[in-house]
Amino acid sequence: MTLTRYVGAAVCARLADEGARVAILLLALDRTGDEALGGLLIAALMVPHVVAAPITGALADAARRRRLLYFLAFLGYAAALLGGAASIGHATPLAAALLIVAGCCAPLLIGGLSSLLGDLAPTRLERAFGLDVMSYSLAGIAGPALAAVLADLAGASWSVAALAALVVAGAVLVASLPLPAASESAPPAPSVTSRPTS
């Protein structure tokens, strides 16, 4: 059950993160018609994935209440994504700032989750990492498609809202994971900054 909940959280979070760049671009085009602005907003969301990862990883390594940290990071990502989307076409600097905040939370939705597997499935690591890699592959293919289909059916704003709801569902699943206190943890799995490749 633990591994099932982990995979559910990973798929929800990574689907949303992969789809967000498409939904934000479509929303910017819908509201402003400005391709350059859409590219700028995508950069605001994506650049912190790399730049903030070492700091986020250090915070995760130092945190004693990791379940709470991950839960708050998931909710922070969802709230910042929604706020940034709502600001597009009305307050561009605010939209960019909120998307930067979402991007700073993102490493815990990506490699950060992978780093928990050593504690969650210490006797089944090969299977756990196999499922983890599958979640990346699934999200990379289905996330952008999901965002585009939802935008076509209901509008880009609803696409972003649905992706944020996926992250909230992931937060609930993360909150249910039996993570020990940091001092009781097994040796760490790959760093929060890493992303497995298939």
Q: Which residue has the higher pLDDT, 183 or 30?
A: 30
- Using a 10 angstrom Cβ sphere, with 0-12 exposed, 13-18 middle and 19 or more buried, the burial of residue 89 is middle
Closest CA to 181 of 74, 28, 59, 66: 66
pLDDT, position 196: 52
Q: Which residues have C-beta within 8 Å of that of residue 83, sequence separation ≥ 6? A: 94, 98
- Using a 10 angstrom Cβ sphere, with 0-12 exposed, 13-18 middle and 19 or more buried, the burial of residue 151 is buried
User: Which tokens is 136 given?
Assistant: 């990346």
Structural domains of the chain, ranges and CATH numbers in brackets: 2-117+134-184 (1.20.1250.20)
Distance CA 23, CA 144 (A): 8
The mean per-residue pLDDT over the stretch 58-69 comes to 86
C-alpha 101, offset from chain centre: 12
pLDDT, position 87: 96
The one-letter code for the residue type at 44 is: A
Q: Is 45 a residue whose pLDDT tops 60? A: yes
CA distances from 24 to 18, 105, 113, 145, 195 (A): 11, 17, 24, 13, 23
Q: What are the pLDDT digits (tens) for 5-14?
A: 999 999 999 9
User: Which tokens is 27 given?
Assistant: 């929303």
The mean per-residue pLDDT over the stretch 75-90 comes to 96
Q: Is 197 a residue whose pLDDT tops 50? A: no
Q: Is 195 a residue whose pLDDT tops 60? A: no
pLDDT, position 137: 92
Q: What are the pLDDT digits (tens) for 89-144?
A: 999 999 999 999 999 999 999 988 888 888 888 888 899 899 999 999 999 999 99
Q: Please answer whether residues 74 and 170 qualify as being in contact, where contact means their C-beta atoms are separated by less than 8 angstroms.
A: yes
